[in-house]
Structure 1
């Protein structure tokens, strides 16, 4: 396939740096799924009975993630992308062990919040690091690697829960996350920081060395001059008293800010983490008993494995098809999946009064599983892969940290809403009602992306600002390979595509 040819033709340093950074996604994914596997065992030990309290327990980590996402951009600019990622991986290992040692709900909540801070920082810093360390032609694919690592972590979390389910040992389920945290810390310590961060700190020689290693075909001096000009412009704005916040809520970047806030919110409000956090509960709601651990934990792992295949497909096509077609295709699959699940629970569970204790017949169990697979595949192919691409690409370097923080904070706010509300809604509305709500959000997300998402395929990272400075469309005479010569730009159904 074309992606593998592009990867073979790219700098080994660029690929190794991006892979090392993307592996941080493993800890994010593992944490997302292992709490779902451990939830019932924790609830039994700590005598948690209400669905709302279970949802709150799952969501404690999101409080920390929001705090981490808000501070991640500033930390990355102040101390460097690499240093912060090393700190994230190391403290993740520490707080995972603290979670395993919890002696009460409050102590577990504190550990989960601290764990969330590290995860929140990571989901801001990793896309910045990878975007700034990738050659243009494979930047999208390398950003999608973060989602590959995240889904792999989710699968590992479910498999560990499956293996430990007979013992009910939730402490090992949570504490095992320290292992990838330690390994990733060691892998990251050998990576260099990004050329753009070195330029922000006036270290042009270091930036030149890293850029030459990452992209041997690049015009190093021209690219560094462009970064230097961008940084000088940012410094001039600061000297005038123009804060980062003011730049983001003023033209030309107000449009970009609104776009990332709404896109980040749409990624999670459509409900993927309801599937990740609560797959064991959803599987039980389809009629499986608590004793059937192979179904309760094995089926979610299988669903995520199929989703992982979809991420690899997305990775292979994102730099060829483009960002918009991949994203719209993924959301379309999620809408279709919602319809399947609405039918499954609405018809298959008709007349059953307790929506959390239903019994589906064989054909409806199969349809339910198909719907969950389609929902996960649609997400991992589209939103799951592209959220990291747009987080890393949308803003120029002097606003990239703040822009990523803004987008992913919005993402996490929606994640919190879903995490807290899903189980109570499942009890009140049943599976059909819940997926009708999520499907409605997916339809709105599809329309939003169709209207406003830019196509950044093949655009040099520092040129993407042109899209926003030109009112949300690419100039008709802009040519990314010829410095702006008059080459007509093909346009989609909405300006700027």
Structure 2
């Protein structure tokens, strides 16, 4: 099946890929801030807990995961806001919230203030996690869409690594065998965790500035009846011939009735509920694959494996490097091997790696063995579930209900992420560290079965062609 550029009769070399890449990178900066703000707590939490004398497991779990409540709220709000005000304005708003919340989180003088601003930062995460990949999917020619949407995951991974390196650089001079208790009253206790949060204010300001200059999504413009503006954006992407053909395809897929406000009952149209099930299950699977406990509880996991505080922080940087390297594997294979194949490889690889991590803890094998198996888990995740889930969620839904459908799927993702992060310590208390990783392994293998039977390949097809396939399946 031909992609959008082929159907428009436009050779690949006439597509203005530099322009598309620039605006995609700008939108993907939301992913970078999302990755940083989401993971920075992993290195900051021990110093934060010591500073505010937080000892209860429940309160520690809440402070670690409270940003995810904001992410859920942001995700829920993003559907109506992006459909009413457009994708571009929501990119600008998310950048502004990232900027303000990062500064005030770092300056928090109480647990209540910290919680408030972490939830605000989570709100920005929720907006960016919806809007950035959706915007990129809507401005990308089909032949480039998988790689460009995966670019959002690459920036998330860069943000994760940036947070991990920042945490390590700030604490690298901590004495080798120091504990957070022994650092009470020191600069590390008073300021280290604060600078970990404030450091992202600079990239947030850059994202805000650059977002002012990106064009609006042409699909949103057509849905709003602003056809001339949409034609201008599509011309900038691929020239006049591309704009005419792509614009006509988008208009036909959206239909004249979509110029009115989308209603939630539209999600009940034939074919859409089944796609929502796929989107929601993939979102939950990405989280309940268990990978994010390695990011958010890395210090706890590596402490159990026998590493000192300094070694724990350095190991966290290694996990970030592996995460980045294998994200490039996804970038170069998602439009060649395909989404479905990568998801199957990932589910199997992560499941087996979790099985090995559980076995290592069960057999009391510490140090490099645990590190190696956790790195294998991250490698499989980075090349599959991490980027491909976002690609699939951004492209499987019909144009008319994409905003609402993506919001529902991503909201499910954040609910699952909160449940995963909050439940890790209670699960390890009930099942042991080995049993907890075996549980995650079982979920991954169940996910493999779901992907095998329920997920169809989407590579190489325009969003309109995917919608046409949906209509054909209804008949």
Do these two structures clear the TM 0.5 threshold for a shared fold by scoring above it? yes
Alignment of 1:38-437 (within 5 A): 38-165=44-171, 166=174, 167-168=188-189, 169-216=192-239, 219-235=242-258, 244-290=263-309, 293=310, 295-348=311-364, 360=365, 364-437=366-439
How far off is 1:10 after superposition? 5.3
SS of the equivalent of 1:454 reads: coil
Aligned to 1:460: 462
Deviations 1:336-395 (A, max 9, x none): 2112101100112xxxxxxxxxxx5xxx42221111111111111111111211121011
Deviation at 1:470, TM superposition (A): 3.7
Q: CA shift at 1:20, angstroms?
A: 1.0
| Number of residue pairs matched by the alignment | 447
More helix by share: 2
Structure 2 stretches of 5 or more lacking a match? 1-11, 175-187
Cα distance in 2 for residues equivalent to 1:63 and 1:111: 12
Q: Tell me the CA shift for residue 419 of structure 1.
A: 0.8
Cα distance in 2 for partners of 1:53, 1:252 equals 43
Contact 1:145/1:315 (8 A) holds in 2: yes
The Cα shift of 1:281 comes to 1.5
Name structure 1 gaps, 5 residues minimum.
Answer: 1-5, 349-359, 476-497
- Give a deviation string over 1:305-353, Cα, whole Å, max 9, x none: 11211111111111111111111112221012112101100112xxxxx
Distance in 2, Cα, partners of 1:281 & 1:146: 29
For the Cα contact (< 8 Å) 1:14–1:215, is it kept in 2? Answer: no
Residue 175 of structure 1: how far off its partner (Å): 1.3
Residue 7 of structure 1: how far off its partner (Å): 9.7
Alpha-carbon distance, 1:439 to partner: 0.5
Higher relative contact order, structure no. (Cα contacts within 8 Å, ≥ 6 residues apart)? 2
Spell out, residue by residue over 1:77-129, the C-alpha distance to the aligned partner (whole angstroms, 9 max, x if none): 11111111011012111011111111111111111111111110111111110
Structure 1 contact 330–378 (Cα < 8 Å) conserved: yes
Distance in 2 between the 1:34 and 1:18 partners? 24
Q: Is the 8 A contact 1:22 1:126 kept in 2?
A: yes
Change (3 A) 1:236 1:401: closer
Tell whether the 8 Å contact from 2:307 to 2:367 is kept in structure 1 after alignment.
Answer: no
1:30 equivalent among 29, 32, 36:
36
TM-score by length of 1: 0.86
Q: In structure 2, how many angstroms separate the alpha carbons of the residues matched to 1:95 and 1:127?
A: 22
What SS is found at the alignment partner of 1:456?
coil
CA distance in 1, matches of 2:15, 2:433: 48
Structure 1 residue 236: Cα displacement: 7.7
Per-residue deviation, 1:50: 2.3
Write the deviation string for residues 204-243 of structure 1: whole angstroms up to 9, x where unpaired.
12111111221248632232122223333443886xxxx6
Deviations 1:177-211 (A, max 9, x none): 21211111122222111111221222212111111
Instruction: Provide the rounded CA distance (Å) in 1 between the counterparts of 2:13 and 2:267.
Output: 34
User: Alignment RMSD, CA only?
Assistant: 1.9
Native 8 Å contact 1:7 1:138 kept in 2: no
Deviation string, structure 1 residues 46-66 (Cα, Å, up to 9, x no partner): 111122221111111111111
Distance 1:316 1:202 in 2: 36
What is the rounded CA distance, in whole Å, between the counterparts of 1:17 and 1:228 in structure 2? 23
